[in-house]
A = this chain, B = another copy of it.
Amino acid sequence: MGHSRPVDQAGLRRGNLALLVRTLREHGALSRAQLAVRSGLSKATVSSLVADLELRGLVHSTGVSAGGQGRPGQLVDLRATSACGIGLDVHVGHVGALVTDLAGDPIFSRRVACDVPAMGPERAVDQLAELAGQALAAAAGTVGPPVGVTVSVPGLVDTGTGTVTFAPRLRWRDVAVADGLAARTGLPLERIAVDNDANLAALAELAAMNAEPGEHSADPVADLVYLTGDFGIGGGVISGGVLVRGSVGFAGEIGHMAMDPLGPYCSCGRRGCWETQVGLGALLHACADPDDPVRDPTLDLDQRMRVIRARAAQSDQRTLDGLHQIGSALGVGVSILVNLLNPAVVVLGGYFAALPEWLVEPIRNQVVASVLAPGAGGARVVGSRLGFTAATAGGALVALRRVLDDPTVVPPTQRENEEAPA
């Protein structure tokens, strides 16, 4: 029976403070009257809540509205530098970091190439901690210490303890990432979260999509499936605006859907997993012979994608056939996801996002052919907006949620003296 928790006065106020912060984050500066209209709260309540947010330094006055329909009023906006969140990223071939301010704008972004499976978990977490130190230094110079840090990992994560349970592509089992990062950086453990990369990317894509309303529909998207494309394939599922995590947090293991009992062996030890059909290895195998330069293992993903795109643009038949094969196999799996989840949007991330001109159409054809609902239940298949930065952007967003969900975690009066006189 869902949500059976008592609500008290303090919880009510927290919820409405959060509503105002989110409204400003989505729409930019607004007058108190406009905030009241958009939030559904009364003007008196909005004025009281804005005063509270000003005391916490989270909003400030930014001039007078240009008029328009209503009377001119003093504008309120987020003080973007009042808080920041850090997204960190561990992947097969790199570690990365992104710091964003309260408005979601980047302050610091860096990616360091390294062979994470070969390094082993200890040295990889050393490398991650070094990068986190650079991110913290960058934040200290502009916005102060982060509200939170979220580490993105391509694998199964026990989010309760911040431990990576199993990440086959990294060759990690039971790696205590949050503990390791806290010990190395001095960050408080309760501010460090670890999550699956596709889950974080899905949240970031949803936020990016809904920040540009009206493109396809007036309603914000609430049901989305995100696919990561690399050697491994991951998935993030959002239903009704909420991430589908499953009972232990292991939902979204799309890459290991059993598609073919006689198919090739997978990194997980089983046969015919979806990622053996549509992962980067399958693409390279389909598009190029073993001695082809694009299969050189020292190439990074961007370089490979440039080669594949150039060949496809020149109508190289082997490349086009390979892309069509991958697109069709992607379509079979996507149609299972659409039959099961009826998403409004399926977002192709990772390497798929570099090749939408050749992948989207075979996927759509397969989905229309294989989904029971008329018109595939309205599902659109689109390339990622955020590309390879989706997971770190999602990490920074989740880190900021501590403030976005409950602005009272920032104490009042802390920044009172810094405010410009009204």
Contact = CB atoms under 8 A, between A and B. Distances in A.
Nearest to A235: B340
A270 B222 CA distance: 29
Contacts of A244: 239-240, 244, 341
Interface in A333-368: 335-337, 339-344
A422 interface: no
A229 interface: no
A420 B333 CA distance: 62
A241 B342 contact: no
A339 B6 contact: no
Interface string A359-397: 000000000011111100111000000000000000000
Interface string A234-266: 010101111011111111111011100100000
Contacts of A404: 1
A268 interface: yes
A247 B270 contact: no
A340 B251 contact: yes
Contacts of A258: 332, 335-336, 370
Given A19-B5, A378-B247, A257 B336 contact: yes
A218 interface: no
A41 interface: yes
Contacts of A23: 4
B7 A15 contact: yes
A40 interface: yes
A301 interface: no
Contact of A377 (B6, B237, B246, B268): B246
A223 interface: yes
Stoichiometry, as copies per complex, reads 2
A166 interface: yes
Contacts of A245: 239-240, 342
Given A223-B246, A247-B378, A7 B4 contact: no
Contact of A39 (B6, B222, B249, B250): B6
A71 interface: no
Contacts of A370: 256, 258, 270
A374 B166 contact: yes
A373 B6 contact: no
B40 A339 contact: no
A141 interface: no
A242 B238 CA distance: 12
Contacts of A372: 156, 166, 168, 250, 253, 256, 268
Nearest to A166: B374
A151 B80 CA distance: 50
Given A251-B342, A252-B342, 20 more contacts: A3-B241, A4-B19, A6-B39, A223-B246, A237-B340, A239-B239, A239-B251, A240-B242, A246-B341, A246-B377, A247-B342, A249-B342, A250-B373, A253-B371, A253-B372, A254-B340, A256-B339, A270-B369, A270-B370, A340-B340
24 contacts: A1-B207, A3-B241, A6-B15, A6-B16, A7-B16, A168-B372, A222-B247, A223-B247, A237-B341, A239-B239, A246-B341, A246-B343, A247-B342, A247-B379, A248-B373, A248-B377, A250-B342, A251-B340, A253-B342, A256-B339, A256-B371, A258-B332, A270-B370, A340-B340
Enumerate the 5 nearest inter-chain pairs by beta-carbon distance, A residue then B residue, closest first. A246-B342, A247-B344, A251-B342, A250-B342, A253-B339
Interface of A: 1-9, 12, 15-16, 19, 22-23, 39-41, 156, 165-166, 168, 207, 210, 221-223, 235, 237, 239-242, 244-254, 256-258, 261, 268, 270, 332, 335-337, 339-344, 369-374, 377-379, 404
